[in-house]
Structures are given as structure tokens and as C-alpha cells.
Structure 1
Amino acid sequence: MFEALDEFVSKYIRLTAEETEIFHSLLEYRKVKKKHFLLREGEICQFEAFILKGCIRTYYVDKSGTETILNFAVEGWWVSDLSSFSEQTPSTQNIETLEDSELLVINYENKKILFDVIPAFEKVFRILVQRSLGVLQQRFYAGISQTAEERYLAFIEKYPQVVQRVPQHQIARYIGVSPEFLSKVRSTLYKKP
């Protein structure tokens, strides 16, 4: 059950057998059904989860009731509300499974223990935060500098493992267009030689 996570961690740090055992003991395995909320807006995020199986979306709903999808995450990726988790403040986001999912979860208290016992893990989580920031910066830049067609093409190039697993209306919400407009974009793309 820990192989994929151990492989991920080994890209950044080397652990002894004892450290690996300690790390595993601080994780909780969770199996959750499709359409399960791991976090709802207003709750304090108490987890960071490594996805063993499944597809998960992070989104918020504005005052008019419109959903904006911030992120999709699949096998080998992490999911959490970093701000709510690190600051222990109410979340503005919802995190929901789109498929039956299997997760390895570390809670807030166990992460503090992990850093105390194996300080090298701070490097792993620092890299995760840096990657998240990079993705957000790219999304912001794309939102102000690219057409909807360019954003859609970038999405399918960057996340090919997600495209076939989520409904088109959710992809539309991710790239910031209406489902009808995305349908027009896709139709135009398929007509090109």
C-alpha cells in the first residue's frame, strides 16, 4: 500500500528502514466513495492526502453560486487546502472525490511529529508547496494571457490522465469558460486539419 508514496518520497530524501516505519505509522489509509467531501467550505482542513487511487477536485463556489474548479488530482498527487491546513483557519474550498478513491492521509498533529522526528521531510513538503505555487502562478498567467482555446489545449497536454476522467462541464469550470463555450472550442479544434 505504501509503494507509490515511498517512491515519491525517495525522489527527494533517503530514509532508513526505521524512519520509513515511523513515517508509515503516522499515516492513515482511507477508502472513500465517489462524491464524498473530504473538506467543505468553512471547515478547517486537518489533512494532506496522497492519492493511491481515484480522482479528486478542489473548488469553490462564489456568492452567485458559480463553481470554479481550482484543481484536479489523480494517482501520485497530493490534495489538501494548504492555507487552511498550515494556518488552521476555515477553508474557502471544497474537496470532493470524483471517483471511488484510496488515500494515505497525514493529519496536522502527525505532520508536526513527522517534522520533529525526521526533519528531512520538511524538504519534501517544501517542494510540494513550491510546485503548488508554480501551478497557481501558471494558472493566473494563463487566465490573463491565453485564449480559451489555448487554455484548453494546455490543460489536455498537461493533464492527459484527467481529461477522460472528468465531465466536460468541470473542465470548462477549470479553464474559466461556460460548458457551452468549451463545446464550441472543442468543435472548432476538431474541424482543424
Structure 2
Amino acid sequence: MYNKFISYLNGLLASPLNPEEIKIIKEVFKPKTLLKNQYFLQQGEICKLTGFIVKGAIKQYSLDEKGKEKVLGLLIDNWWVGDRESMLKNTPSSYYIQAYQRSELLIFTKEDFEEHLINQPFILEARRILFERQSLQLLKRLYATNMLPAKQRIQELENCYPDFFQKFPQHLIASYLGLTKETYSRIKSNMLKNQ
């Protein structure tokens, strides 16, 4: 479990983690298993944990006024999970974060982060890179949701995140793309006919 996380970090950083940094990681990050449908966080709770998904599939969603799920995030291997705003501001979360399939994570608390990680150079470098990537991904997603036709949104997702289609069912992918499952199914069917 730790080897995969260490490889992930080494892929981000300019130089590989040294033995002391690896020791800190193993002391601070704790293994956690989420079973299918188990919550990492529920709406109204204050987020106390952040996790790195070693293996699995997790959905982040809110409920609309009719109680229907609106998927805001689909999270898979080598992605991070948590509600940063809730954790930083100590405020109730607006989201549910739930395992779609059994998921293996490495988690840490805000207190552990502040006590052991916040000033570590490797963490500062990794956070900078991850924040840049996340900002770019959010802008790209906003653009796609607001500007691209449905077919192109599906194609973009297939190109960028093909693993989503192995880990999540069509209705979750449709919701993530801002489509009804019927619209998604119709467009996908037409795409397959035209191949």
C-alpha cells in the first residue's frame, strides 16, 4: 500500500523521497478500508480526514431539493479524497463522499498534517504541484460543462479518464457530466453505431 503511494509522490517530485521522508509518511498516513457504500464523509459533518486512494472507486455528491444525487466528483486510484474547505474552515460539509466499491486508502488528520507534514519540503512541493493540477482540471471541467455539447463531454471524459468507464456505471457518469441517464445512453448508443 505504501509502495504505491511513495511511487506516486516520487512521480510528482523533482527528486525521490529519502528514507527519513518515507519514515514520516509511514508514521502519519494510516491505512483505511471503505467497504462498498460506506461513507467517508456525510453532508453536515465536519471533514476530519484527507485520504489518498490506493485502490478503489469513490463518488462525491450532493442531493438536490428532490433528494436526487448530483455527482460532483468521481474518484479513483491515485486520487485524493476529502473536503478541503470543511477541513480548513472547520465547517459542515455540503457533500457526501461514499465508496462506490471497496476502496483502500491512506488517510491523515488535520492535526497530523499540521504537526508532522506542513513544513516538510517534499509536502510543500507536492501540494504546489497538486493545487496547480487541480486548478487546471477544475477550469477544464467548468469549460466542458458550460461550453461543450454532450457528445463532446463524453468523448473528453473517455480520453482523459478511461478508467471511469470500468469503475462506475452509466448513471453516475451521466450525472457527473450533467446529463440525464437517458440522454447519456442515447448519445453513447449513437457513438457506438458510428464507429
TM-score in terms of structure 1 length: 0.93
Identity of aligned residues (%): 31
The match for 2:2 is: 2
Paired with 2:138 and 2:53, the residues of 1 have a C-alpha distance of 20
> 1:146 and 2:148 equivalent?
yes
Cα deviation, 1:61-112, whole Å, max 9, x if unaligned, reads 1223232211111111111112112222211111110111111001111111
Aligned pairs (5 A) from 1:63-102:
63-102=65-104
The match for 1:182 is: 184
Q: CA deviation at 1:6?
A: 0.6
CA contact (8 A) 1:114 1:121 kept: no
Report the secondary structure of 1:106's partner residue.
strand
Paired with 1:16 and 1:135, the residues of 2 have a C-alpha distance of 30
Q: CA deviation at 1:116?
A: 4.7
The match for 1:45 is: 47
CA contact (8 A) 1:23 1:114 kept: no
The match for 1:33 is: 35
Q: Which moved more, 1:11-20 or 1:148-157?
A: 11-20
Cα deviation, 1:109-164, whole Å, max 9, x if unaligned, reads 11112335524312212322222222221111111110111111111111111102
Aligned-residue Cα RMSD (Å) equals: 1.5
Structure 1: unaligned runs, 5 residues or longer: none
Paired with 1:120 and 1:184, the residues of 2 have a C-alpha distance of 47
Count residues with an aligned counterpart. Answer: 193
Structure 2: unaligned runs, 5 residues or longer: none
Paired with 2:181 and 2:154, the residues of 1 have a C-alpha distance of 12
Paired with 1:185 and 1:166, the residues of 2 have a C-alpha distance of 17
Report the secondary structure of 2:101's partner residue.
coil
Aligned pairs (5 A) from 1:123-162:
123-162=125-164
